[in-house]
Amino acid sequence: MRDRRTARVAIWAAAVLVCCASPGAAQLRRMTRPKVERPDGPVWEVMRKHCTTCHGIDDYAFYAQDRAGWQKVIAEKHKAGEADLSEQDRNLLLDWLASKFGPNTKPFPRTYVPPEISTYFTDPEAFRLLNRSCTKCHGLERVDKVRKAAEAWRVTLVDMRERGAQLSDEELEQLVEWLARVWGTNEDK
Ligand code: HEC
Ligand code: HEC
């Protein structure tokens, strides 16, 4: 009897932990969201007419589906009539979605919450990490070429980590801070 009560208390304690470890409102606000670049031409026309009237396109990056999977996501997320397309428009859109966010891509994580950092990289420290974590796949000229504000760097790094870059959360944030400082933009700052 006693044991069962202890067990029940333990279950409740675990439930409270789970509940309160999930992101609160303040964290949700800081949660990193993906950024999806707008396609050109006819695909964008389809989206502009039929999709972006209600919401943006960034959330597409949360998925990695083949064509059939995409069709299912769209069907499940909308009421009848909300996201109906002609066959031609649907083909255009599904082809683009499956090529950009197909089953071989990594879905952007829904819940990355940046930790607070208290130490900041010097240039040599940052280069050491870049050389360790990034050059396996491409040269650092990829980094050299672009300027982004912190939030955009964070999105890139979370994306790179999903692809296989080895970075702890702490390292990721330190790199975001350094990149925005050294390879940042004047806007958005
Ligand atoms: C009439 C408004 C409306 C239109 C038009 C619309 N959507 Fe949506 N869409 C919604 C709403 C509302 C949700 C959230 C539903 C939910 O979470 O259950 C949603 C959710 C989604 C999601 C899932 C997002 C996530 O975070 O999981 C995707 C993907 C999506 N829509 C794609 C599209 C595409 C592609 C089109 C155009 C073909 C489109 N939507 C057109 C209202 C719309
Ligand atoms: C596992 C392979 C891999 C690793 C490791 C990797 N990248 Fe990438 N990176 C890619 C690929 C693939 C692309 C091209 C993505 C595209 O064009 O959609 C890319 C593109 C980029 C771009 C240009 C696109 C953009 O969003 O601006 C930047 C900047 C970048 N990587 C930075 C980094 C940094 C910094 C690191 C180390 C923390 C890193 N990458 C590690 C695979 C990798």
**pLDDT number for residue 34:** 87
Ligand 1: distance of its center to the CA of 153 in Å?
A: 26
Could you list the mean pLDDT of each consecutive 10-residue stretch along the chain, which spans 189 residues? 52 48 53 86 96 93 95 94 93 96 87 89 97 95 92 91 91 96 75
Predicted pLDDT at 171: 96
Give pLDDT, residue 61.
Answer: 92
Q: In whole angstroms, what is the distance from residue 151 CA to residue 113 CA?
A: 12
* Gap from CA of 142 to ligand 2 centroid (Å): 7
Residue 114 pLDDT: 87
Closest CA to 155 of 121, 188, 186, 118: 188
What domains lie within the chain, and their CATH numbers? Answer: 24-110 (no CATH), 123-182 (1.10.760.10)
Residue 111 Cα to ligand 1 midpoint, Å, equals 19
Distance linking the first and last C-alpha atoms of the chain:
61
Ligand 1 pocket list (CB less than 6 A): 50-51, 53-55, 59-60, 62, 73-74, 77-78, 82-83, 85, 93
Residue ranges lining ligand 2, Cβ < 6 Å: 130, 133-134, 136-138, 142-143, 146, 156-157, 160, 163-165, 167
pLDDT value of position 60? 95
Distant-in-sequence contacts of 158-167, Cβ < 8 A, 24+ apart = 158/32, 158/108, 158/109, 158/112, 159/34, 159/106, 159/108, 160/134, 162/106, 162/107, 162/108, 162/109, 163/106, 163/137, 164/136, 164/137, 165/133, 165/134, 165/136, 165/137, 166/132, 166/133, 167/129, 167/133
Closest ligand 1 atom to Cα of 82: 1
> Which pLDDT belongs to residue 19?
46
